[in-house]
């Protein structure tokens, strides 16, 4: 109910006026949630389609490695024309006087002074892509989607230590509640940490890597206006794809070259790269119209979206533990990212 109320407040003022920008942000956010929720389904479908569980362990790791690398390749290819459009927009803005020359030059060429940071980001995002693919392989779609929501915890952590952002007592409390919901779900209420799913652990490590890199990117590049989000997504995936594919050919290719001869593999490589890239595109579009806190709330039900796809497309079982855990996690995210100032601002729009 709280989720619905917050969504309604995104674009209603006094229940009369509709903010067109916020409606667009809402639409982009919902589409992003659906696409992101579908990503684990592609990994699970690929695993089933090529019978990856039947592969010897010596082949499973290279297969997961290659899937991760090819995802980065096709995501980079998708964002390359978007990056060119973005750079042209900046140049046009400078010509029209909407951007001063110094800012435009910084957005276009500022990355050249941050090559070490970009290589670090590309490397760690490449490792993150391996963790992403492997995590969902071992955890399954539903548990994996819930585990991935731990990104909110690490976002608070790195926001505090790197960005020097404040954290409220309420955020700490609901971060603990979120973690409780995660443990409750993946252990099916037993809280037996010894039997903790290895895939969930990989996705927790992934959340750590992702949020650390996002904080670094935001502080040293985006906030400093050294580049734009679209350019960063392309560059990080280009670097990741070079690192992952080159190391794959160096260490794994002779023994597992048959993966390249399977059209089914190529189909899933392209599908994952495109879906992943489109999900990012819609997420950044949502952020361009909405505050980050509101956008985060809109995409918070992605575990439910993943569960629906999993049940109807893959025949996975959605248990009562998944349901309760998802509710706890989503509610915690809403409470963590909601803006406490909203209550004060509402008075301005109260006609009574």
- Any domain includes 10: no
- Any domain includes 278: no
Closest CA to 87 of 210, 241, 228: 228
- Any domain includes 295: no
Q: What is the pLDDT of residues 22-69, one digit of tens each?
A: 888 889 989 999 999 999 999 999 999 988 888 888 888 899 999 999
- For residue 318, is it left (φ>0), alpha (ψ between -120 and 50) or beta? beta
Q: Please tell me the total number of residues recorded for the chain in this structure.
A: 352
Residues contacting 337, CB < 8 A, separation 6+: 152, 292, 293, 296, 297
- Any domain includes 273: no
Q: What is the model's pLDDT at position 22?
A: 80
Q: Which two tokens stand for residue 81?
A: 């024309």
> Confidence band (pLDDT; 50, 70, 90) for 5?
low
The total number of structural domains in the chain stands at 1
Closest CA to 73 of 280, 273, 261, 279: 273
Contact between 278 and 8 under an 8 Å Cβ cutoff? The reply is: no
- Any domain includes 77: yes
Closest CA to 134 of 183, 184, 66: 66
Contact between 70 and 42 under an 8 Å Cβ cutoff? The reply is: no
Q: What is the pLDDT of residues 270-284, one digit of tens each?
A: 999 999 999 988 988
pTM of structure = 0.86
CA torsion angle 173 174 178 180 (round to 10): 40
- Measured between alpha carbons, how far is 101 from 94 in angstroms, rounded to an integer? 6
- Any domain includes 19: no
DSSP state of 100: -
- Any domain includes 102: yes
Q: What is the pLDDT of residues 255-268, one digit of tens each?
A: 777 777 788 899 99
b/e sequence 105-121, b meaning 16+ C-beta within 10 Å: ebbbebbeebeebbebb
- Any domain includes 42: no
> Confidence band (pLDDT; 50, 70, 90) for 82?
very high
Closest CA to 309 of 141, 64, 151, 130: 141
User: Percentage of residues in the chain with pLDDT exceeding 90?
Assistant: 47
- Structural domain range at position 228: 47-262+316-338
Q: What is the model's pLDDT at position 64?
A: 93
**HEC secondary structure over 222-244:** HCCCCCCHHHHHHHHHHHHHHHH
Q: What is the model's pLDDT at position 225?
A: 86
Which range among 69-78, 187-196, 293-302, 334-343 has the greatest average pLDDT? 69-78
Distance linking the first and last C-alpha atoms of the chain? 24
Query: What's the gap between Cα 45 and its chain centre?
Result: 20
Q: What is the pLDDT of residues 89-139, one digit of tens each?
A: 999 999 999 999 999 999 999 988 888 999 999 999 999 999 999 999 999
Mean pLDDT of the chain: 85
Q: What is the model's pLDDT at position 3?
A: 52
């Amino acid at each position: 109910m709280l989720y619905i109320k917050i969504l309604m407040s995104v674009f209603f003022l006094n229940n009369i006026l509709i903010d067109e920008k916020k409606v667009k942000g809402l639409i982009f956010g919902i589409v992003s949630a659906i696409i992101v929720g579908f990503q684990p389904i592609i990994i699970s479908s690929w695993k089933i389609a090529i019978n990856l569980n039947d592969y010897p362990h010596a082949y499973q790791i290279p297969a997961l490695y290659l899937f991760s690398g090819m995802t980065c390749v096709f995501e980079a290819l998708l964002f390359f024309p978007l990056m060119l459009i973005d750079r042209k927009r900046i140049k046009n803005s400078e010509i029209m006087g909407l951007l001063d020359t110094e800012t435009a030059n910084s957005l276009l060429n500022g990355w050249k002074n941050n090559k070490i940071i970009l290589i670090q980001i590309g490397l760690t995002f490449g490792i993150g892509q391996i963790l992403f693919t492997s995590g969902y392989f071992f955890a399954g779609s539903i548990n994996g989607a819930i585990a991935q929501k731990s990104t909110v915890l690490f976002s608070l952590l790195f926001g505090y230590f790197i960005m020097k952002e404040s954290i409220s007592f309420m955020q700490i409390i609901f971060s603990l509640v979120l973690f409780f919901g995660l443990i409750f779900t993946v252990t099916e209420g037993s809280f037996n940490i010894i039997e903790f799913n290895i895939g969930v652990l990989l996705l927790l490590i992934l959340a750590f890597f992702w949020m650390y890199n996002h904080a670094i990117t935001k502080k040293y590049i985006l906030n400093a206006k050294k580049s734009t989000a679209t350019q960063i997504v392309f560059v990080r995936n280009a670097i990741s794809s070079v690192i992952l594919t080159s190391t794959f050919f160096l260490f794994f290719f002779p023994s597992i070259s048959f993966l390249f001869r399977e059209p089914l593999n190529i189909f899933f490589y392209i599908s994952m790269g495109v879906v992943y890239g489109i999900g990012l595109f819609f997420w950044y579009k949502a952020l361009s119209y909405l505050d980050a806190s509101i956008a985060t709330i809109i995409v918070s039900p992605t575990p439910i979206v993943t569960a629906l796809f999993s049940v109807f497309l893959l025949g996975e079982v959605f248990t009562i533990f998944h349901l309760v855990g998802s509710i706890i996690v989503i509610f915690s995210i809403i409470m963590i990212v909601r803006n406490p100032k909203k209550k004060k601002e509402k008075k301005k729009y109260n006609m009574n």
